[in-house]
Amino acid sequence: MDFFEHQEQAKGSSTRLVILFGLAVVALTAILYLSIAATLVYVTREEGEAALSLWNPELLFWVVLGNSLVIGCGSLLKILELRGDGGKIAQMLGGRLVHPETKDPAEQRLMNVVEEMAIASGVTMPEVYVLKDRSINAFAAGSNPSEAVIGVTTGCMHLLSRDELQAVMAHEFSHILNGDMRLNIRLMGLLNGILGLAIIGRILLEFTSREEKNPLPLLGVLLLILGGAGLFFGKWIKSAVSRQREYLADASAVQFTRNPEAMTGALKKIGGLASGGRIQHAHAEEASHLFFENGLTSRLGSIMSTHPPLADRIRRIDPQFDGNFPQITFEPTVSVVDQEPQLDLTQESHSPDFMQSAVMAGMMMGGSRMAWNPDQAVQAAGKPGQVQLQYAEALIQKLDLDLHAATHDPFGAQALVFAMLLSKETDWHTQQLEALEQQSSPELVREIKLLHPKVAAMDPRAKLPAVDLAIPSLKQLSPSQFNTFSSNLRWLVESDQQIDLFEYALQKVLERHLKSHFEETSSATDAYHSLIPLLPHCRLLISGFAHIGHTDPAAISHAFQHGTAGLGEHGKKLQLLDNADCGLGEMDQAIDHLNQATLTLRKKVVDCLAHTVGADGEVTLQEAELLRAFADALGCPIPPFVNGPQKPSNT
């Protein structure tokens, strides 16, 4: 199952979830109406008045309206409260944001593991929170990968080995990639809506009166009972959905790390720890389905558990598990040796296993060309493997310490981005710095000057991953600071009257992951379920990619035909656009339209672009990174393209 199937499965689960909750709301409304109607019939008969009928359209209208408003508003308010930044959920659970430059050895190791996972999976670096709890647990939260955060307990951070911690983080990243986070937020919202019935019932019970005929306490009791019953069935639905997603995340994590012993080791330690994965926090129940392991002890057994039994999860990975858990005690220590694995980049890059397991070409030195398999490009989306993880570990180890530190600070992150965009021409470079000093501050320009020599010597493969690592720091800018940063970024990109592919890819990445954080943007909707109305936009994008990297008209035409072949009969009717008609600005507009298509259609478009750039069987770093930037803009994160031997360019 690939990234797109996982996403569709999560979407299907979300749809089924809404249907089940809808049926539960209908059942609650019917029971509430019948209870009130029956009470009114009974009261009128007792008082000798004309007996009312159980069928009362006016009463039914008010019951349906009231119930819908209570549950609907309660759900909507909770979803709106939690949407966007997952940090809201982490803070709700008492989480503390970990600073990337932390001096704590355990936190340093945690941050290093998360950075590796982010680079390997092709998603932006999430913020990391620590929950002060001795249990072993973790979670991922956020409405989309751009706003995701990772949370871990102190027990998880201290009691697991580095490999085990890496396996747990791979599990959480699989939730990010599989579309589970938005589903989890909807679960919390819908349960909060049903909880509203019980809350109103409790309020009505307080309106006691000496009048014998006061109906409010009776209605309050009824709402409490119905709200409690609704919560029971709602939690049962939540648990059933969550258990299946946990099995999937375990399997994805093992596929990611290729280290099943690390995953089973983490699960066994949870089973052997007295507190297990139980979270001691008032909001633990509300967020129980988010955790790596069940954060609560259910008195009703597995039927209400949000996670499968530990032994079952282990046996799915290790069928020989005997069911015995080692006894674990909380000892908050981290070995310095265990903290940072030292990798030899030269040896690693020439390892036969590393070379043979490479998926495709792409991350390489600028100006080179490599073999390219476009059929595997889309298949890699959302499916990072050990080769990408090894690559990420090596890349971070090789990254200059000052550049790495710059990604961890809002000020340094801005300077790093600007240093990457400075012109290579000395005169124009000086003019850019002078203009930046007037538009921003002398301090920022001094930092840019310090970083620029290191950026100039930087491996081209590390530039966009470094930008991904810097995004959490850039999110810490104030709105006014972000506006200044954005205007300076735009000016730097456009100041030399030309935009190269790296500048455009960098701009797309930052826009994708920062704009929604600082500005209210409407989320993409599935407005298009057919390619036919999108064909002009597909034509424009494929034409643009065909012109990239080619100057020979025959090669451009061949690349265009290779790309449009993925559109079937529709593609045969499309004509190549002139280079002037498919500039980067026009391609931006096409992306905006395509983002309103279903994920299946977007997958087809990304596949067409991959075949376009790989029509000649080779690809450059710039082409590969541009493809990743466009795929990311379409909501299809692709891991780094890693390959072994590189073939020098003839150009």
Q: Show which residues are catalytic.
A: 172
The 127-131 sheet, strands edge to edge: 96-97, 127-131, 149-153, 138-141
Please answer whether residues 318 and 260 qualify as being in contact, where contact means their C-beta atoms are separated by less than 8 angstroms.
Answer: yes
How long is the chain? 651
Paired tokens of 550: 């080619």
Please answer whether residues 624 and 641 qualify as being in contact, where contact means their C-beta atoms are separated by less than 8 angstroms.
Answer: yes
Please answer whether residues 401 and 458 qualify as being in contact, where contact means their C-beta atoms are separated by less than 8 angstroms.
Answer: no
412 contacts: CB under 8 Å, gap ≥ 6:
405, 406, 447, 451, 473
Q: CA 411, 412, 415: angle at the middle one, nearest 5? A: 95
- Strand pairing partners for 131? 153
Q: CA 584, 517, 242: angle at the middle one, nearest 5? A: 110
CA 6 to chain centre: 13
539 contacts: CB under 8 Å, gap ≥ 6:
564, 574, 575, 577
132-147 burial by CB neighbour count: b if 16+ within 10 A, else e? Answer: ebbbbbbbbbbbbbbb
Please answer whether residues 188 and 78 qualify as being in contact, where contact means their C-beta atoms are separated by less than 8 angstroms.
Answer: yes
Nearest alpha carbon to residue 172 among 135, 204, 239, 127: 127
Crossing angle for the helix pair 535-547 and 621-633, to the nearest 10 degrees: 160
Paired tokens of 509: 């990445």
Helix (H/G/I), strand (E/B), else coil: 619: strand
In this structure, what are the phi and psi dihedrals at residue 65, rounded to the nearest 5 degrees?
A: -65, -50
Between CA 16 and CA 185 the distance in angstroms is: 15
Q: CA 28, 31, 33: angle at the middle one, nearest 5? A: 105
Paired tokens of 245: 């997603």
The enclosing H or E element of 97 equals: strand 96-97
Please answer whether residues 140 and 171 qualify as being in contact, where contact means their C-beta atoms are separated by less than 8 angstroms.
Answer: no
Paired tokens of 391: 């690559």
The enclosing H or E element of 238 equals: helix 216-257
Between CA 26 and CA 23 the distance in angstroms is: 5
Contacts 24+ apart (CB under 8 A), 526-531: 526/596, 526/597, 526/598, 527/596, 527/597, 528/593, 528/596, 528/597, 528/598, 528/601, 529/597, 529/598, 529/601, 530/601, 531/567, 531/570, 531/597, 531/601, 531/604
**Positions of E strands within 439-565:** none
The enclosing H or E element of 149 equals: strand 149-153
Reduced 3-state DSSP string for 361-393: CCCCCCCCEEECCCHHHHHCCCCCCHHHHHHHH
Paired tokens of 195: 């909880």
